[in-house]
């Protein structure tokens, strides 16, 4: 004879409850996503790509979002929910320590393989999801752009639009959903882009501009930024890429300067504005025509340059000049601050990149008479990357010297840079570091019902906090990550 319902419920194992909860959460969140996509609509043109990306084609604007009402019916903070109101199959999962989940991750160091004939390699950028690294290979009498795929492990030498042996360098790369589109420059100083197949396309310049370079591009909408030269003076430019033709190019500013980076969302660009010949870190609103200097009134810097920015452009990093010396800097919450090493062993020179929500910053520091790649977080400040790998994760690199950390993925876990290998040759690398669980939006150290409200608000508004994998898109993948994290799986 079967006992009371409460007894039957209590007899269900934790594993079975977890499996049931996962199915329930994924179904509920997936229904909410489908509802959002159905009623939000998609613009015509590149429809297939943008159905995957969750953006309106060619605009970078995300579709209107319906609420996650299926998920929030039981779990929204507004419902004054407490553990007694959580369904029995979710109760064991309500307080899953985020720290225990992040411990599942494993640190890794991977030297980017150099093709036959290459004598050295540097890395300049990593895709927002960490799956591509791009930079420059050196051959005898030739320097070539490359794109490396973490999925295939293959380093592809990118061709020149004009053919033949020449100079090129890749400086930015997008995500797999857009084919790892890559941007950069080729001789004789012309902006260039490479599509998913690796074909090269020269990009246009405004009239009177004699040369230029594309520095970075967004995740989804093919917007890219850089600069062009009028005589010897740089002016910031924006391109809306289109292959094989049809790209448009516009000025970002009437004043001289360089646009060094664009947010993954494609809403803001950062760089430097030249005023009286002095560089000042600046942020441009794309599509709005706005521009604002990043240094506040208390900034210690005489001049400054912003090199990279976060997913939505709210946090930027670069360097300032204090006297005659560069100092790694960040611009956050309306304030300018220098990055420091609490031990005094490193003197941070340049902050090269920041993760999607600003949890980690990477760059280059002075160490004795050489340079060293560093990683920064709010808890530990600046630390040498090679030291973090060895002391915190047991990844020792005999003979290696990690000199420059150039870029970091949106989730803060993949770092691209270059150093000197045991053979004394410059070689690019990708490092994977375990990170905090991105689903712990409340910051209390647990993935629990307290995170449901913040996630739903961010998701429905297309906010950066809902971009849990850091790829610059807010979509069904992020819902799956959040659902899994709620059940203790947060790799």
Tell me the average pLDDT across 441-464. Answer: 91
- Would you say 375 and 360 are in contact if contact means Cβ atoms under 8 Å apart? yes
> Is residue 127 predicted with pLDDT exceeding 50?
yes
| 491 lies in some domain | no
pLDDT band, very low/low/confident/very high, at 215 (cuts 50, 70, 90): very high
Prior bond to 101 cis, omega within 30?
A: no
Q: According to the model, what pLDDT value does residue 165 have?
A: 55
pLDDT band, very low/low/confident/very high, at 282 (cuts 50, 70, 90): very high
Shared domain for 338 and 458, answered yes or no, is no
Tell me the average pLDDT across 461-487. Answer: 93
Separation between Cα atoms, residue 179 and residue 306, nearest integer Å: 27
- Would you say 278 and 270 are in contact if contact means Cβ atoms under 8 Å apart? no
| 300 lies in some domain | yes
Q: According to the model, what pLDDT value does residue 103 have?
A: 39
**Domain span including residue 142:** 111-432
> Is residue 65 predicted with pLDDT exceeding 70?
no
Shared domain for 88 and 205, answered yes or no, is no
Shared domain for 356 and 461, answered yes or no, is no
Q: According to the model, what pLDDT value does residue 385 have?
A: 98
Shared domain for 145 and 64, answered yes or no, is no
Of the residues 432, 459, 476, the one at which a domain ends:
432
pLDDT band, very low/low/confident/very high, at 491 (cuts 50, 70, 90): low
CA distances, 101 to each of 96, 160, 434 (Å): 8, 45, 10
Percent above pLDDT 70 for the chain: 77
Q: According to the model, what pLDDT value does residue 214 have?
A: 98
DSSP letter at 64 equals P
- Would you say 304 and 455 are in contact if contact means Cβ atoms under 8 Å apart? no
Contacting residues for 259 by C-beta, under 8 A, at least 6 apart: 215, 216, 225, 226, 227, 236, 237, 238, 252, 269, 270, 271, 284
pLDDT band, very low/low/confident/very high, at 343 (cuts 50, 70, 90): very high
141: burial class by Cβ within 10 Å (0-12, 13-18, 19+)?
A: exposed
Terminus-to-terminus CA distance in the chain, angstroms? 43
Shared domain for 97 and 168, answered yes or no, is no
Shared domain for 386 and 463, answered yes or no, is no
| 2 lies in some domain | no
pLDDT band, very low/low/confident/very high, at 444 (cuts 50, 70, 90): confident
Tell me the average pLDDT across 454-473. Answer: 95
Q: How many domains does the chain have?
A: 2
> Is residue 38 predicted with pLDDT exceeding 70?
no
| 5 lies in some domain | no
Q: Find, among 47, 65, 70, 83, the residue nearest to 448 by Cα.
A: 83
> Is residue 300 predicted with pLDDT exceeding 80?
yes
Shared domain for 404 and 296, answered yes or no, is yes
Shared domain for 66 and 156, answered yes or no, is no
Q: According to the model, what pLDDT value does residue 117 have?
A: 94
Shared domain for 62 and 189, answered yes or no, is no
pLDDT band, very low/low/confident/very high, at 303 (cuts 50, 70, 90): very high
Tell me the average pLDDT across 228-253. Answer: 95
Shared domain for 204 and 345, answered yes or no, is yes
| 445 lies in some domain | yes
Report CA torsion sign: 485, 333, 345, 411. Answer: positive
> Is residue 2 predicted with pLDDT exceeding 90?
no
pLDDT tens, position by position, 378-428: 999 999 999 999 999 999 999 999 999 999 999 999 999 999 999 999 999
| 155 lies in some domain | yes
| 245 lies in some domain | yes
Separation between Cα atoms, residue 236 and residue 159, nearest integer Å: 26
CATH number of the domain at 386, please: 2.120.10.30
In terms of phi and psi (left: phi > 0; alpha: psi -120 to 50; beta: otherwise), the region of 306 is beta
| 120 lies in some domain | yes
pLDDT tens, position by position, 151-171: 999 999 998 766 665 799 999
More confident residue, 308 or 90: 308
Helix spans in 12-133 (H)? 14-40, 47-53, 69-75, 98-102
Tell me the average pLDDT across 21-37. Answer: 46
Percent above pLDDT 90 for the chain: 66
Shared domain for 116 and 167, answered yes or no, is yes
Shared domain for 329 and 358, answered yes or no, is yes
């Amino acid at each position: 004879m079967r006992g009371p319902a409460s007894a039957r419920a209590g007899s269900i194992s934790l594993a079975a409850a977890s499996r049931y909860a996962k199915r329930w959460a994924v179904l509920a969140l997936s229904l909410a996503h489908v509802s959002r996509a159905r009623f939000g609509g998609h613009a015509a043109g590149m429809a297939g790509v943008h159905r995957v990306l969750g953006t309106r084609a060619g605009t970078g604007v995300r579709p209107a979002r319906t609420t996650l009402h299926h998920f929030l019916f039981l779990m929204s903070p507004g419902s004054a929910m407490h553990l007694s109101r959580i369904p029995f199959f979710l109760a064991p999962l309500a307080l899953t320590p985020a720290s225990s989940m992040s411990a599942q991750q494993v640190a890794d160091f991977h030297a980017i393989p150099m093709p036959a004939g290459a004598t050295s390699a540097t890395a300049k950028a990593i895709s927002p999801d960490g799956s591509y690294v791009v930079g420059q290979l050196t051959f005898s009498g030739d320097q070539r752009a490359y794109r490396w795929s973490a999925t295939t492990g293959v380093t592809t030498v990118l061709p020149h639009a004009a053919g033949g042996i020449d100079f090129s360098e890749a400086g930015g790369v997008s995500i797999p959903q857009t084919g790892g589109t890559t941007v950069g420059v080729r001789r004789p100083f012309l902006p260039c882009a490479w599509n998913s197949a690796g074909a090269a396309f020269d990009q246009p310049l405004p009239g009177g501009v004699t040369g230029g370079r594309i520095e970075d591009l967004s995740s989804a909408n093919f917007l890219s930024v850089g600069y062009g030269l009028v005589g010897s003076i740089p002016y910031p430019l924006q391109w809306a890429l289109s292959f094989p033709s049809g790209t448009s190019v516009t000025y970002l500013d009437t004043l001289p300067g360089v646009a060094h980076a664009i947010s993954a969302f494609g809403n803001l660009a950062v760089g430097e504005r030249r005023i009286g010949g002095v560089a000042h870190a600046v942020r441009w609103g794309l599509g709005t025509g706005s521009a604002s200097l990043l240094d506040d009134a208390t900034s210690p810097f005489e001049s400054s340059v912003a090199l990279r920015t976060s997913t939505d452009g709210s946090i930027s990093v670069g360097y300032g000049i204090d006297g005659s010396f560069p100092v790694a800097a960040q611009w956050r919450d309306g304030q300018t601050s220098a990055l420091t090493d609490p031990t005094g062993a490193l003197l941070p020179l340049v902050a090269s990149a920041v993760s999607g929500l600003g949890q980690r910053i990477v760059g280059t520091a002075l160490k004795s008479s050489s340079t060293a790649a560093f990683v920064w977080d709010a808890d530990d400040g600046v630390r040498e990357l090679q030291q973090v790998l060895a002391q915190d994760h047991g990844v020792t690199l005999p003979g290696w010297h990690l000199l420059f950390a150039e870029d970091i993925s949106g989730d803060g876990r993949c770092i691209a840079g270059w150093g000197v290998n045991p053979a004394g040759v410059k070689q690019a690398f990708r490092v994977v570091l375990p990170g905090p669980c991105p689903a712990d939006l409340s910051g209390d150290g647990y993935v629990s019902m307290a995170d449901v409200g913040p996630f739903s608000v961010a998701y429905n508004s297309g906010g950066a906090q809902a971009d849990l994998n850091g790829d610059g898109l807010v979509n069904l993948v992020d819902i799956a990550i959040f659902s899994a994290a709620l059940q203790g799986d947060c790799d």
